[in-house]
Amino acid sequence: MGFSSSSRRSRVASVLQLCLCMLLCRVQGGSSHGQPLEEGINTLVPAPSCSARDSLDKDFHPDCWDQPTKTITAKRDPSSYELYVVYLGDVKHGHPDHVVASHHDMLTTLLGSKEESMASVAYNYKHGFSGFAAMLTPEQAKQLAEVPEVISVEKNKIHTTATTRSWDFLGLNYQMPSTSNGLLKGSNYGEDVIIGVVDTGIWPESRSFSDKGYGPIPSRWKGKCQLGPDWGSNNCSRKIIGARFYTAGVSDVLLKMDTLSPRDNNGHGTHCASTAAGSIVEAASFNGLAEGVARGGAPRARIAVYKSGWGSGSFSIASVLAAIDDAIHDGVDVLSLSITGEEQLAFGALHAVQKGITVVYIAGNDGPRPQTVVNISPWVITVAASKVDRSFPTVITLGNKQQIVGQSLYYQAKNSSGSSFAGLLVGAGCTADRLNGTDVRGIILFCLPLKDDAGTPVSTFDYASQYVRSGGGCGLIFAQYTTDLLTMTASVACQGIACVLVDLDTGEKIRKYGGVAGSSAVAKIEPAHIVAGKEIPGPKVAAFSSRGPSRHYPDIIKPDIAAPGANILAAVGNSYEFKDGTSMAAPHVSGIVALLKAEHPHWSPAAIKSAIMTTARVTDNRGMPILAEGLPRKIADPFDYGGGNINPTGAADPGLVYDIDPRDYNKFFRCTIVRRTNASCDATMLPAYHLNLPSIAVSELRRPITVWRTVTNVGEADSVYHAEVQSPAGVMMEVEPTVLVFNATDRVHSFKVKLAPMWRLQGDYTFGSITWRKDQKTVRIPVAARMTIQDFYADVA
């Protein structure tokens, strides 16, 4: 529920927020609903901050550890109140205390007393932007929205969450002295860059967070270490230099599933933090699988933890905003959020970017369906998930000695007697109705896909694996199309049994054998082993990775980049586990951003994003076009992976960058929304494709248009680049000039791109690219265009 101010000034200010509301996104897999508190109103009063270092040795001082936030209770009817997020725009006071005082002055006028104001506030946003989260009635929220200084009032929402080989695959192998180590060595492995991880917390005892050999904490750090019942002062270190937690807006049920501290009892946050910045750990594996050196992309970077996810991974938007605001104050260089953000988070991320912080988000896990990408703000880096060149083949031997190869993460305990044949039951469809109490004791169940009348698959792996395990079975072979969710074969439901995935062709061979052998059918499942390297084509875009175009803003290509996100091994608790998702892909990019920040400390967030996108790979390890898994598998396009699959070494030396003054985002979006609402605006009104992004998307190409782009030379001073144009099918595209000459004084050049439809057609998107080449160096941006005739056209038939 949202309200806008009635004053003219507030209406103008609301324009930006209304635009940001177009950037709707949700935390992966969650559902929106408010969470009223049950007994009174529990209001968090933040403990005072302190520097996390001593002035003499620049390390932690014992008196500098903050205690857990205190709770006060206002006796009110909890059913009448809900948590609202109030956004006031830029900070207008010099000191955070003055910002907070202005918030309470506003609330005191509304609520009638300072005590009521103090009792209602859960968070004050006072560093990167101004606003607060408070317990209000709907009527109070409506009245507050009428205050001229208020830009927006939005009800808080609750949502849920959405590596031994991956870094080698990306060319960051710290053990091999080769030119591919240039970025690692040039950045000193991300030394002293601070990555803020907004997630479910962290497990500090993990070997991935050892601070052995680390120097003093950077003197610029202003964060704190918040204590809790299972988190003491020794849990922060020279590696984990800060830790906070946020609970407002989260139900008591979820909080009771967790502990009120920065500790990660879920595993998601630890996995993400160790992927981005984990220290080097030898001989890490998942029960012997994928054994190797586990480390983060920036293994010498520092980590700041902002625990906002609770229980199974539920996030309060008000809490995430508080985390972003604190991270801006604390001095992080990179923000990594493996969650999807609401419209309320978009402005928080924008303020962070305007402070020079690169913000990395996930694209979502709703692929391969189109128009499912989330976190579409142009100021953030939105990351799709890809697969690396690694496979986990699992041999299945049938009773006729035929061998079938599936994939799994199946392993056997060290004291196991090995694999043996067991009875094989071929099920027509593994649903409750079809199985209907079938005895599976001591046998292997094979499941074929079963569809309902609408053609929707109804056999589920989760149900089948639980049925086999609870029924005393010894294995499950499950046939399906590619989903890239191999980690479910190592889920709780598969503990103690062998779970294997096979494709539909392989499944048909097993079905035919079962039909011939009948009740005498048997099979044997061997443990999985690893195959990696050029025998396995990679990368590929993972099937689950959300795809573009954006439903809310199709004139911006999203996602921006793809990075490894399938079968990623990283820290969980004291061990190492595989996880899948764009949640795993985003911290890969965050780690690489940290390396780039260390090597190029003066690059802006836009320059870093440009370097990553323009140097990305669009071919696999054999030089073939990257494929996107789906129904069917296809050649990937920019709506699958943005610029391509990330290339860290190339990003360190991109040659040219497409930079953006962060103030342009405000002007651009305000005017876009004003244009759509037929209001006036004192800035130039431009379509989205005129923003100087390292991509071009024109969703309604009806007549010839001209788009300008500006590039800055960050490479050799004396350089000449030549344009190479690949026009989208059905579109004439020209670049002027076709040659850019740079020297010590001329570091910035602009060029124009002319696009014209070849036919009058209500068409679909086609794709091309513009590449600036200097010898072997290429700077490539993707182009997407759709020819249209009508304003409103439903392409559904």
Looking at the annotation, which residues are catalytic?
Answer: 199, 268, 583
**If DSSP codes are grouped into helix, strand and coil, which group holds residue 731?**
strand
Cα 435 to chain center, whole Å? 39
Whole-angstrom distance, CA of residue 262 vs CA of residue 264: 6
516 φ, ψ to 5°? -80, -45
Whole-angstrom distance, CA of residue 52 vs CA of residue 58: 9
DSSP H stretches of helix in 535-581: none
Contact predicate 353/347, CB 8 Å? no
Whole-angstrom distance, CA of residue 538 vs CA of residue 436: 42
Q: SS3 sequence, 576-627?
A: EEEECCHHHHHHHHHHHHHHHHHHCCCCCHHHHHHHHHHCCECECCCCCECE
262 φ, ψ to 5°? -75, 0
Q: Following CA atoms 625, 629, 630, 631 in sequence, which dihedral angle do they give, to the nearest 10 degrees?
A: 70
**If DSSP codes are grouped into helix, strand and coil, which group holds residue 109?**
helix
Whole-angstrom distance, CA of residue 56 vs CA of residue 147: 48
Q: Which residue has the tokens 């922060």?
A: 236
Structure tokens at 485: 């969710």
Structure tokens at 259: 């502990």
Residues 6 or more apart in contact with residue 370 via CB below 8 angstroms: 547, 548, 549, 639
Whole-angstrom distance, CA of residue 787 vs CA of residue 764: 7
Residues 6 or more apart in contact with residue 513 via CB below 8 angstroms: 398, 399, 400, 402, 521
Structure tokens at 490: 């190592």
The secondary structure of residue 181, as a DSSP letter, is G
Structure tokens at 634: 């296809």
Residues 6 or more apart in contact with residue 512 via CB below 8 angstroms: none
Whole-angstrom distance, CA of residue 377 vs CA of residue 665: 10
Contact predicate 561/265, CB 8 Å? no
Whole-angstrom distance, CA of residue 587 vs CA of residue 547: 19
**If DSSP codes are grouped into helix, strand and coil, which group holds residue 673?**
helix
Q: Which residue has the tokens 């870094």?
A: 167
Contact predicate 688/553, CB 8 Å? yes
- The residue count for the chain: 797
Structure tokens at 13: 């200010």
